[in-house]
A and B are shown apart, each in its own frame.
Chain A
Amino acid sequence: MQFMLLFSRQGKLRLQKWYVPLSDREKKKITRELVQTVLARKPKMCSFLEWRDLKIVYKRYASLYFCCAIEDQDNELITLEIIHRYVELLDKYFGSVCELDIIFNFEKAYFILDEFLLGGEAQETSKKNVLKAIEQADLLQENLDFQMRLFAGRQRSRDATQRAGGNRPDINTVHSIIIIHVPHTHILHLPAAVRSR
């Protein structure tokens, strides 16, 4: 893959990932032209088009266009699957993802993409593994790793006493530990739904 672009129906760029070295001006030019070309296409048309000397594969999900530029020898149909897999990952991560999620958390969208594709090729074909990796990285970012290891020790001993029909780990307990030990002065905004469980 040479590049991937995400843009809205009004032509606003939401994500751009370039795997080939191009100057800023060239990137802008390509983006502008390609966005115009794709937006001009009618709804029922083919997902593939030839543009300059590249093959473009695009698909619209709700209000967002996902557009990839692939090389001559690449398989267009599997590229559609790659796009779909990325959307699924975003959906799993953000929970029923919508365009606003990607706007306000664009850096997360990039992190997810970087766990799925590397250098323009798919690096992990299992959805579960990609999500697990993101989760671990996020935990690392929040510096919760240390806390988790602490909790894991306590949980293992609790599990040993509670067998079949054992309760799920008490979420509130987990959160309470975090609140106490968090070194940074962030205040966790906990969604009400989670807290009440």
Chain B
Amino acid sequence: MYFYNVNELYRAMSPSVPLQEMIRAIRSARTQCEERGVIQRECAAIRAQFRQADNGGRSHNLAKLLYVHMLGYPAHFGQMECVRMIASPRYSEKRVGYLGAMMLLDEKQDASLLITNSIKNDLSHSNQYVQSLALCTLACMGSAEMCRDLAPEIDRLLRASNSYIKKKAALCAVHIVRKVHDLGELFVPAARSLLAEKNHGVLHGAVVLIIELCERNPETLERFRKTVPDLVQIMKGLVLSGYSPEHDVAGISDPFLQVRILRLLRILGRNNEGASDAMNDLLAQVATNTDSTKTVGNAVLYETVLTVLDIKSESGLRVLAVNILGRFLLNNDRNIRYIAMTSLQKIVGTDHNAVQRHRGTIVDCLKDQDASVKRRALELSLALVSASNIRSMMKELLLFLSSCPAELKAHAASGIFNAAERYAPSQRWHIDTILHVLTTAGGDVRDETVPNLIQLITNASELHCYTVHKLYRALLTDISQQSLVQVACWCIGEYGDLLLRGECQETEAVQVTEDDVLDALETVLQSHMSSPATRGFALTATMKLSTRITDNVDRIRSIVSIYGSCIDVELQQRAVEYNALFKKYDHMRAAVLERMPVIEKNSSGHTNGETTGEAIKDIQPAKVKQGELLLPPQPANQVCDLLDLLGGSDETLQPSPAVGAPVPGLLINTASIAGGDLLDLLGVLEPAPLAPVLTAPTVPVYEKDGVTLTLSCEKQSDTGLTVTLTASNSTESDISSFTLQAAVPKSVQLHMKAPSGDSLPARGTAKVTQMVVLNNPNKVSLKMRVRISYTSQGSAFQDTVQIDSFPGLDAAGQ
């Protein structure tokens, strides 16, 4: 051209002296205060200039203001000047004016509406660079209103203009569609025809527009699916063509356009066999021929892989794609490794085996320096854990946990717990793993870890000795991790006798004296690191030891009485109750502090009545277990006669998640009533048990399709019970052949009396009653399964309902 290159022209151009002088002045300010002073002076001058009539330096003034704005100072007084400049006939002023509009005005400002007209005019300007300014501004900050106004103009430009304008109009249309979804329809025909253009810029814009249209409207997507062959042609041209200097980037011809087309193909091929088939060969070609030594080649390969994995590609192609990801994993460039793991994460569910092959590399990435890479590696590793690799994977994960950044610790800990729970090869391994996590990241685990672990420990009865030894040792080393300390205290309290016995098969024995154990617990009690909850655990554990040790009971007594005046209310209450246990209820102490029973997994406060679907025969053993759980161990039951009186309120008898609470819970109930005198207790509780005996309430037990069944029962004797079932029909049509059948647990005897009838007229005008006499000599927990069969409107119906609780009886069936 006239200058050898654009740089020469740039250097030949007149610099904006006023602007550059101001910038120099601002930069030479040595303090923030000085800078503010300079800027205030300049802004005042600019404001004065704005008020004056048109002079040659308007664009410089606005440029100065924009610089000041970029430094973070307020510049809203320039908004109207932008509007004025945009309307100026001079290109230099328009250029800066539009730039100002993009920087100072956004769709939330009122002034932005004022430029709509200018934009409209400039869109049809004779000079394409002016048109370009308008298009750029509209695409950058056009509000929904402006978009609606100007959409027809843009459509016109999409069809009839030169390539320079067409490519900009296409992207402007993208912005319009994003702002006003309905306008997408308007651009569909133009977008379609643009695909036939040769100019790369226009093609690129067209593909972006089509992607936007297809993503927003499934119908449009259907229509554009026909373009797949054309797109494949274009891609082929790019991939196979020789060197084209204009678009070449490190040997790839126009990678930007390639990536876009691949993305559009992905959208069109998703969930569609035909389209996926049509692009299969092309994708294979791109995957194999693209040079992967530079980032740009990898960018294209990455997009190809994403497309292959998302469409209905044939298995060979999928394998190829996963292999590419595998190669990425080994790449030296950290960015590529990160990308690979992100993609593998997406397919780990569907192509699990393929991803498993790269497990080793992924696990290595756990040791990477970069936090983003670490996070990705962690997620992938957790997804790849399986029964066969659990031991080796857990080793790596635990290693990772000890050195991972703080923000990942919680996620890693919970992931490890989940994996351990699903695939633990043995209970001891499981317990060891959890202990390891608690030691390294105890502060970041969730609250339910403690009860979960305790439940696990109680279930592993043969490991009690081993567990308590290990926990004791952990307690001696470090008492700062609260969850660990809590579990340790609980175990020592529970299994202290095993600890003191000294022998243990699984781990080397340590001679522990009673004083040692009590010292450890006292350290926890007194340490400022222990939370109130932890202290509670420690105190209860100390108390429990009073029945498990022989020599130092006095020491325990003194500890407990000291805490009777502790400031912490919870601790004080516990101490007072334990004191009472020592003094007045010493005969009960052994029974109350007995070993806890095995805790059921899903016993989180609700009734253990979910036995639906089981045969009636199965109810029997389940109920036995339930009986065990609902009531404290037998000795305690006999001793605590008062507990029977508490039979009306079931809640205290059921196990709760706060382990260790049930037993003290009972004590709280008794002791919290002023002083804990037996007689007072009887006096307070007397009214409660009477209530259930008085009436025989009726409860609905079944309601479906208009048929209702209610139940009431009456105790005839210690073991005898009469149950009355009443059925009614609220539908519009009569029901005939209505029969009821009942089944009960094995030891219970059942006798069904004759029903009052077998037809239920419509709209509940008459009912059917059925009496069932039950005899429960073994006093098992009562359950009844009732089968209902009837005919309605010519078709037969049958249904079953299980009745677990009978009104007027407690859960134990008494």
Contact = CB atoms under 8 A, between A and B. Distances in A.
A78 B92 contact: no
Contacts of B259: 75, 78
B223 to A, nearest CB: 22
A45 B372 CA distance: 9
Interface in A65-119: 73, 75-78, 80-82, 85, 92-95, 103-108, 110-111, 114-115, 118-119
B2 A80 contact: no
B171 A123 contact: yes
Contacts of B372: 45-46, 48-50
Contact of A140 (B129, B168, B254): B129
Interface string A135-164: 111111111000010010000000000000
A50 B375 CA distance: 11
B338 A46 contact: yes
A126 B246 contact: yes
B265 to A, nearest CB: 14
Interface stretch (B13-21, B273-281, B425-433): B13-21
A124 B91 contact: no
B572 interface: no
B339 A77 contact: yes
A107 B299 contact: no
Interface in A1-43: 13-19, 21-23, 28, 42
B548 to A, nearest CB: 52
B322 interface: no
A169 interface: yes
A126 B249 CA distance: 10
A15 to B, nearest CB: 8
Given A118-B168, A125-B254, A107 B66 contact: yes
Choose among A46, A135, A136, A175 the residue with the greatest number of B CB atoms under 10 Å from its CB.
A46
A62 interface: no
A46 B334 contact: yes
Given A23-B108, A133-B164, A194 B8 contact: yes
A13 B299 contact: no
Give the size range of A's interface with the partner: 35 or more
B136 A190 contact: no
A103 B19 CA distance: 11
A61 B479 CA distance: 49
B784 interface: no
A124 B201 contact: yes
B361 to A, nearest CB: 16
B338 to A, nearest CB: 5
Contact of A151 (B2, B132, B246): B2
B139 interface: yes
B139 A135 contact: no
Contacts of A50: 372
Contact of A142 (B14, B132, B371): B14
Contact of B70 (A13, A21, A42, A134): A13
A151 B2 CA distance: 9
Interface in B224-277: 246-247, 249, 254-257, 259, 263
Contacts of B108: 21, 23
B256 A93 contact: no
A95 B11 contact: yes
Nearest to A108: B10
A175 B16 CA distance: 19
Interface residues of B, number: 82
A45 B369 contact: yes
A51 to B, nearest CB: 10
B6 interface: yes
Interface in B173-193: 174-175
Nearest to B129: A137
A75 B299 contact: yes
A118 B2 contact: no
Contact of A95 (B1, B7, B127, B373): B7
A126 B6 contact: no
Interface string B135-147: 1100111010000
B70 A106 contact: yes
A118 B171 contact: yes
Task: Count chain B CB atoms within 10 A of each CB in A15, A77, A129, A140 and give the residue with the most.
Answer: A77
B140 A19 contact: yes
Contact of A93 (B7, B23, B132, B334): B7
A34 B7 CA distance: 33
Nearest to B136: A114
B455 to A, nearest CB: 36
A148 B3 CA distance: 11
B204 to A, nearest CB: 6
B15 A189 contact: yes
B66 A188 contact: no
Which of A44, A95, A174 has most B Cβ within 10 Å? A95
Given A106-B70, A137-B129, A81 B295 contact: yes
B608 to A, nearest CB: 43
Interface in B1-39: 1-3, 5-16, 19-20, 23, 27
A184 B56 contact: yes
B205 A123 contact: yes
Given A45-B369, A81-B295, A190-B12, A124 B6 contact: no
A165 interface: no
B592 interface: no
B522 interface: no
Interface in B53-97: 56, 63, 66-67, 70-72, 91-92, 95-96
B599 to A, nearest CB: 40
A123 B255 contact: no
Nearest to B258: A78
Given A77-B299, A77-B302, A78-B259, A110 B107 contact: no
B208 interface: yes
Contacts of A105: 15
A194 B11 contact: yes
Contact of B129 (A28, A46, A126, A136): A136
B369 A21 contact: no
B221 to A, nearest CB: 15
A119 B140 contact: yes
A78 B117 CA distance: 37
A126 B164 CA distance: 12
B810 interface: no
Interface string B141-170: 101000000000000000000001001100
Given A78-B256, A135-B6, A125 B204 contact: yes
Contacts of A191: 11-12
A52 interface: no
24 contacts: A16-B70, A17-B102, A75-B299, A78-B256, A81-B255, A81-B256, A82-B256, A92-B5, A107-B63, A107-B66, A110-B99, A114-B99, A118-B140, A118-B171, A119-B139, A119-B174, A123-B167, A123-B168, A123-B201, A124-B200, A126-B200, A131-B5, A135-B1, A137-B91
Interface of B: 1-3, 5-16, 19-20, 23, 27, 56, 63, 66-67, 70-72, 91-92, 95-96, 99, 102, 106-108, 127, 129, 132, 135-136, 139-141, 143, 164, 167-168, 171-172, 174-175, 200-201, 204-205, 208, 246-247, 249, 254-257, 259, 263, 295-296, 298-299, 302-303, 306, 334-336, 338-339, 369-373
Given A76-B335, A78-B259, A141-B95, 7 more contacts: A13-B70, A44-B369, A46-B373, A81-B256, A119-B139, A121-B174, A141-B13
